[in-house]
Every structure is written in C-alpha cells, then in structure tokens.
C-alpha cells in the first residue's frame, strides 16, 4: 500500500513527532511504500510558548520525508492534497491542534477532488440506507492523539468536527476518546492502544524486534521523585508540590520539562510552600541524551494529572525500572497497577497524593514495587497498533451502527 503520513516529524520535538516518525518506520518495515509530508512551519510562534524544534534528532529520522506545509502558505495545503490524490492509496492525517484545521480541510479538499465535498459517492451509494457515504480519493485516517485539546476554546469543537467528518475513519488511543470522536463525526472510529515510541537514545531507533530491559536498579534509594515532561495546568504539578509539602519531609523532587507559559507562578508556589531546598526546577526542554540520568536519579515518576488520555511517560518509567505514582485519569488507571508496579490516587486530591508519597517510603514498599516493574513489550504493542491502523486504511472498519465498511 502507498501511504502518506501528514504530521510533524524531526526537527519538531516531542511525543507526537516521535510517534509519526516511528509509525512511518514500522509501516515501511511491513513492506508498505511510505512517505511523511511534514511542516516547515507548523503555526505562528506566539501560539506555542516553547521550543518547537531540536537540533539533534531524538530518534532515527525517516528518509522519505518532505516539508511542503507552512502556515504562511495556504496555497501549499491544497496543492499537497491534489498531489497525493494521484500518488497514494491512503493518508494518515495526524490531528495535532484545531489551529491547523484550515490546512487539514484544504488538504482534504485536494484529496477528494472537486471542492472536497462529502457526498461524492461512488455509483450505488448506500447513503440513503443510513450508512456512511463513500468518499472519493485515497482513504483518509484521522489519527487523533487527543480529539480535542485539554485546554479548549469555543471554536475547537467546530474546527475538529469539520475535519473528522471529512475523513474515512478516525483512529484514537482510548475508549473515552473514541466516544468523543463518535459524538463529533458520523464516521467509523477505531481504537488502538498507544504503542511505545519515547526512546532515551538520541539519533537511534529501536529495531522492530527489540526487547527492552529496565535500567533501574533495586539498590539504595535517593528519596527523590521525578515530574517529567511538558508542564501544563492539567498535569497537576501544583497538586504535587502541595502534596510534597504535606508528605515526608526528607523527599526531594526534580521537575524537568518545558513550561507551557510563565514559570514564575510555579517558582512562587515553591517558595510559599517552603520547598525551595527540596525542589530542583529544570525548566526547559529535556534533550533525549539527558533522559537516562534523570530517571536513574529518581525513585519513582509522579503523574499527578487532573485530566488526560494516555501518557508515554509510563512506558518510559518502565524502561528505566521505575514505579509510577499516578492519578486515575485516562489510561493511567489501567496501565499502572496499584500496589504492584505503582500507586494510584484520585485526581486533584492533595492529601491522597501526600499519603501515596508516605506509603511509597514505608519500609519495603519501594523495593517491592520496583521488583515488579516490567519493561514494555514493544514488538507486541506495535504489532497490535499496526494491525488496527492498516485495517482502517484498507477500509475494514466497523461503523458505530455495527456495520462493517469495506
């Protein structure tokens, strides 16, 4: 199958760019002809308060990559769609942000032909029978890491709805996101659990049959916790800081990640809570080469999310042999086994999180949790993910009314 992935890749940083890149490699390894059509400029700098690019690849770049898209050049959006209409069998449209909806809609218009309108069905359309209209052009799979942003504006829903309803199918990573996608668009929605793609070795990608071994050890603990990744309000760092102040007095915290906005408010809270000497604040994007040392110095990773869908950080912690303290949001409630390889608490509850910190450092608990941390089974996870993705690209998707579209 000839497949085009439209989405961010190197030099853009972060999990979505890494996932796009890894997906391209994995599809190619299965024998498909794959290209990535990416962005030279994703959106105006004022819309993203952080470092958008990295100088060194975080994983092996995908060779067949081009950068025809720019938010400054709308003419390139439609042109890309028209080109792909005649050169590929299927398109994976990586839905990153509603801000890019106009670009997606123009690409879809080019892919669909005249005006990109739905309703241009093949002869013998089943629309009258209540089943989805067959769309002209290549199959388009809208891959949504998050159907809607965690922090939303009023225009997000109509923008995302306009994109999804013009796709052939939608791929999401959790059942809750599948329900949300189904509410927005009357197209088939498929769910595939996110496969690991966050590697800690820069410029390298794990082979398809890689078996990961945890790097953490079971020796002396440092009484240091880790909060890792992009810092945004929904991730609950403020809750963790208050829990740290209320929990064991000899526990320290490293906060390593880029702040979505001003770091001053967090610094002020640290001072108010008397945590200046206990919190190591490393504001800024963490290069892949620096990740192993951060995890090696920690006893556990803490994910105090107020909301969320899934987090690759659980797999990253397991890769390094660390237990995870997390809230019961999204897939965290099922991916972390409470009392086995981590601890679970309700979201936005400071005292419950403080009690989890006390429990972690009770005699024997940390060592027991660490002993039961298992590394992610990457080959099996990607095999499942690709099976669902390729079935959707082949048009073998079950619509929510129970009918299978082929």
In this predicted structure, the answer to whether residue 390 has a pLDDT above a threshold of 90 is yes
Helices assigned H by DSSP within 173-212:
175-184
Residues 6+ apart with CB under 8 A from 46: none
pLDDT of residue 135: 57
Higher pLDDT residue, 117 or 323?
323
Please provide the average confidence, as pLDDT, over all residues in the chain: 85
End-to-end CA, the chain = 16
Which helix (H) or strand (E) is 335 found in, with range?
helix 332-335
Pairwise CA distance, residues 178 & 194, whole Å: 13
- Classify residue 129 by its DSSP letter: G
For residue 237 the two structure tokens come to: 């760092």
Architecture of domain 224-376: 3-Layer(aba) Sandwich (3.40)
Give the pLDDT score at 150.
Answer: 76
Q: Where are the domains of the chain?
A: 2-201+380-401, 224-376
> Can you give the pLDDT at residue 240?
98
Residue 197: per-residue pLDDT: 72
pLDDT, residue 251, reads: 96
Q: Residue 30 and residue 10: Cα distance in Å, rounded?
A: 22
Find the largest Cα–Cα distance for the chain: 72
Residue 97 has pLDDT above 70, yes or no: yes
What is the Cα–Cα distance from 3 to 87, expressed in whole angstroms? Answer: 9
Question: Are domains 2-201+380-401 and 224-376 of this chain identical in fold?
Answer: yes
- CA pair distance 359, 364, nearest whole angstrom: 10
Helical segments of 336-398, H only: 350-360, 365-371, 378-393
Residues 181-224 pLDDT 10s: 999 999 999 999 988 875 544 334 445 454 444 444 444 446 99
Q: Write the pLDDT tens digit of every residue in 350-365.
A: 999 999 999 999 999 9
Strands, sheet with 300-303, edge to edge from the N-terminal-most edge strand: 279-283, 252-257, 224-228, 300-303, 324-327, 342-345
Q: Which residue has the higher pLDDT, 290 or 322?
A: 322
pLDDT at residue 47 in the model: 66
Residues 3-30 have pLDDT tens digits of: 999 999 988 887 889 899 999 999 999 9
**Is residue 367 packed enough to be buried (19+ CB in 10 Å), middle (13-18) or exposed (0-12)?**
exposed
> Which of 35-49, 114-128, 135-149, 314-328 shows the lowest mean pLDDT across its residues?
114-128
Q: Cα dihedral sign for 218, 286, 149, 163?
A: negative
Split at pLDDT 50, 70, 90, the class of 113 is confident
Check whether 406 has a pLDDT greater than 90.
no
User: How far apart (Å, rounded) are the C-alpha atoms in residues 252 and 269?
Assistant: 15
Q: Is the peptide bond before 11 cis (omega within 30 degrees of 0)?
A: yes
Options 3.90.1170.50, 3.30.379.10, 3.40.630.30, 3.40.50.2000; CATH of 2-201+380-401 = 3.40.50.2000
* pLDDT tens for each residue of 40-79: 998 777 666 566 777 777 788 999 999 999 999 999 999 9
Helix (H, G, I), strand (E, B) or coil at 377: coil
pTM above 0.85, yes or no: no
The answer to whether residue 346 scores a pLDDT higher than 70 is yes
- Residues of the chain with pLDDT > 70, as a percent, come to 84
119: pLDDT confidence band, cut at 50, 70 and 90?
A: very low
**Pair type for strands 252-257 and 169-172:** unpaired
pLDDT tens-digit readout, 295-319: 999 999 999 999 876 678 999 999 8
């Amino acid at each position: 199958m000839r497949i085009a992935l439209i989405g961010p890749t190197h030099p853009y940083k972060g999990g979505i760019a890494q996932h796009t890149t890894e997906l391209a490699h994995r599809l190619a390894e299965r024998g498909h002809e794959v290209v990535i059509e990416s962005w030279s400029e994703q959106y105006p700098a004022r819309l993203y308060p952080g470092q958008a690019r990295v100088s060194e690849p975080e994983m092996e770049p995908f060779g067949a990559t081009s950068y025809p898209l720019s938010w400054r050049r709308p003419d390139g959006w439609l042109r890309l769609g028209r080109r792909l209409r005649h050169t590929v069998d299927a398109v994976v449209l990586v839905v990153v942000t509603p801000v890019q909806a106009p670009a997606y809609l123009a690409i879809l218009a080019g892919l669909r032909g005249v005006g990109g309108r739905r309703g241009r069905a093949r002869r013998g359309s089943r629309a009258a029978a209540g089943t989805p209209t067959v769309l002209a052009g290549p199959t388009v799979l809208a891959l949504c890491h998050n159907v809607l942003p965690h922090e939303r504006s009023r225009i997000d829903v109509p923008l995302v709805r306009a994109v999804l309803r013009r796709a052939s199918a939608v791929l999401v990573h959790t059942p809750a996101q599948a329900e949300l996608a189904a509410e927005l668009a009357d197209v088939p929605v498929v769910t595939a659990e996110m496969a690991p793609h966050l590697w800690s070795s820069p410029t390298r990608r794990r082979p398809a049959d890689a078996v990961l071994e945890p790097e953490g050890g079971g020796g002396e603990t440092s009484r240091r916790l880790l909060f890792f990744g992009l810092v945004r309000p929904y991730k609950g760092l403020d809750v963790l800081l208050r829990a740290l102040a209320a929990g064991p007095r000899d526990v320290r915290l490293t906060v390593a990640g880029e702040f979505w906005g001003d770091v001053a408010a967090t610094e002020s809270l640290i001072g108010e809570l008397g945590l200046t000497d206990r919190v190591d604040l490393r504001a800024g994007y963490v290069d892949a080469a620096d990740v192993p040392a951060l995890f090696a110095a920690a006893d556990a990773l803490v994910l105090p999310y107020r909301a969320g869908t899934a987090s690759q950080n659980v797999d990253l912690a397991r890769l390094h042999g660390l237990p995870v303290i997390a809230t019961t949001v999204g897939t965290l409630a099922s991916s972390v086994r409470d009392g086995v390889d981590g601890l679970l608490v309700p979201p936005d509850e400071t005292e419950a999180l403080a009690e989890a910190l006390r429990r972690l450092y009770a005699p024997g608990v940390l060592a027991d949790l660490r002993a039961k941390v298992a590394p992610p089974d990457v080959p099996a996870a990607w095999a499942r993910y690709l099976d669902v993705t390729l079935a959707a690209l082949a048009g073998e998707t079950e619509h929510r009314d129970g009918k299978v579209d082929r």
